[in-house]
Amino acid sequence: MSAAPNILILATGGTIAGTAGSALKRDYRPGQIGIESFIGQAGALGVAANLTGREIAAMGSEDITPEIWRALHDACDAAMDDSQVDAIIITHGTDTAEETALLLDLTLPTNKPIVLVGAMRPADAVGTDGIRNFLNAVRVASDADAAGRGVMMVMSDRIISARDARKAKTTGTDAFKGFPRDSIGTVTPSSLDWFGEPWAKGRAARFDFPAAFPHVPICHAYAGMQRDAVDCLLREETHGLVLAGFGEGNAPRVIFDRLAELAAKGVVVVRASRVDEGLVDRLPMDDEHGFVAARGLGPAKARILLQVLLANGISEMSEVQAAFDTR
Ligand code: DAS
């Protein structure tokens, strides 16, 4: 990487680009500020990187679509082969950032750093976290040791691996947590510490980006649920389902009976948990019924991984389990 790295910024909107128009207003609109504003602010603060912006979308990430995911993926993929680009930053809303991050992590190589960054406060809020998070992302993307760690998220002075990251609070600038690894480094605009060596240096894309995203519903567990809680989610083309179960991926017997019927018909059933944190490990019932244990992935990310696997023609239980076991 040259002394002043060339960083491509792919903007998608979110709160980081949001404005309220008044610091005293409760609501705000995401995706209002162009990426050039951040690039200008970074330049005025003396950041030693050549930043080039490109707008992929200007939206709240709750509205993200497979088409936008594809545009992001293709832009990153092209940048991986472009000798004029050293690293990529994606500005993104925080609501679905963990899903986008994991999807890109699974479908892109690791030869250049890719950093997702967002904010919990709009750009014109008192004490906005956007510009600090952005400068932190530039710091990470500029670092010679950043490649080979897969896609990363930078929020509240922490670097979290895509596989580990999740939004764990509705508000507050420290909304993101990592599990099983809390964070893989810390960063401020003036400092950077990695907790360990890159573990995925030179890794090729593990899976093809889905030509189409298969229908994979999430069945959220609740006390007293009945079979129809599963059945109302199914379509003819449903070949995968994620259970957001109680505790360690648990559910009422009537639900497991229904899921076992589906698994016997070839639907890939992944047991995850509605609980915020913790592993869902394999149990004897998984062997009995052909279920998959989501391990460290929560329901939303388990769904992304299952969609990628199904789209890549992987549906055999042990192969799917291996993908959930592999970091
Ligand atoms: N508006 C939401 C989003 O775009 C929240 C955010 O960005 O933090 O995901």
Q: Each residue of 233-276: pLDDT tens digit?
A: 999 999 999 999 999 999 999 999 999 999 999 999 999 999 99
Separation of CA 96 and ligand 1 centre (Å) = 8
Mind telling me the catalytic residues?
15
DSSP string of 12-55, one letter each residue: EESGGG-B-SSTT-S--BSS-S-HHHHHHHHHHTT--SEEEEEE
- Distance between Cα 119 and ligand 1 center (Å): 8
Q: Are 167 and 153 in contact (CB under 8 A)?
A: no
Give this prediction's pTM. 0.97
List b or e across 43-65, with b for residues whose CB sees 16 or more CB atoms inside 10 angstroms. eeeebebbbebebbbbbbbeebe
Residue among 32, 62, 133, 169 whose CB has most ligand 1 atoms within 8 A, to mutate: 62
For 177-195, what is each residue's pLDDT tens digit? Answer: 999 999 999 999 999 999 9
94 CB under 6 A from ligand 1? yes
Residue 160 has pLDDT above 70, yes or no: yes
7 Cα–ligand 1 center, Å: 23
Mean pLDDT, range 285-313, rounded to an integer: 98
Question: Given pLDDT bands bounded at 50, 70 and 90, which one contains residue 23?
Answer: confident
Query: Which tokens in the block code for residue 271?
Result: 């047991």
Going by alpha carbons, the residue nearest to atom 7 of ligand 1 is 93
DSSP bridge partners of 244: 220, 272
Ligand 1 near 14 CB (within 6 A): yes
Helices 299-311 and 97-107 cross at an angle (nearest 10°) of 30
pLDDT beyond 70 at 36: yes
* CA gap 32, 35 in Å, rounded: 10
* Mean pLDDT on 271-283: 97
Rounded CA separation 124/136 (Å): 19
Over residues 52-108, the pLDDT tens digits come to 999 999 999 999 999 999 999 999 999 999 999 999 999 999 999 999 999 999 999
Q: Which are the contacts of 266, defined by CB distance < 8 A and separation ≥ 6?
A: 239, 315
Mean of pLDDT values over 47-51: 96
> Is the CB–ligand 1 distance for residue 169 below 6 Å?
no
Domains of the chain with CATH codes = 6-194 (3.40.50.1170), 218-325 (3.40.50.40)
Regarding the beta carbon of 130 and ligand 1, being less than 6 Å apart is answered no
Q: Is the CB of 53 under 6 A from ligand 1?
A: no
What is the Å distance from ligand 1's center to 78 Cα? 26
Tell which one of 26, 62, 95, 176 to mutate to probe ligand 1, the residue whose CB is within 8 A of the most ligand atoms: 95
Write the residue with the smallest CA distance to atom 3 of ligand 1: 93
Distance 15 CA to ligand 1 centre (A): 5
pLDDT of residue 310: 98
Please, which pLDDT band fits residue 24 given cuts at 50, 70 and 90? confident
| pLDDT mean across residues, the chain | 97
Quick check: CB of 93 below 6 Å from ligand 1?
Answer: yes
Tell me, what's the pLDDT at 176? 98
The answer to whether the CB of 172 is under 6 A from ligand 1 is: no
Owner of token pair 């080039």: 52
State the pLDDT at residue 2: 52
Residue nearest to atom 1 of ligand 1 (CA): 60
- Report d(CA 14, CA 213) in Å as an integer: 23
pLDDT (average), residues 282-306: 98
What pLDDT score does 3 carry? Answer: 77
Q: Which helix (H) or strand (E) holds 264?
A: helix 253-264
Cα 14 to averaged position of ligand 1 atoms, centre (Å): 4
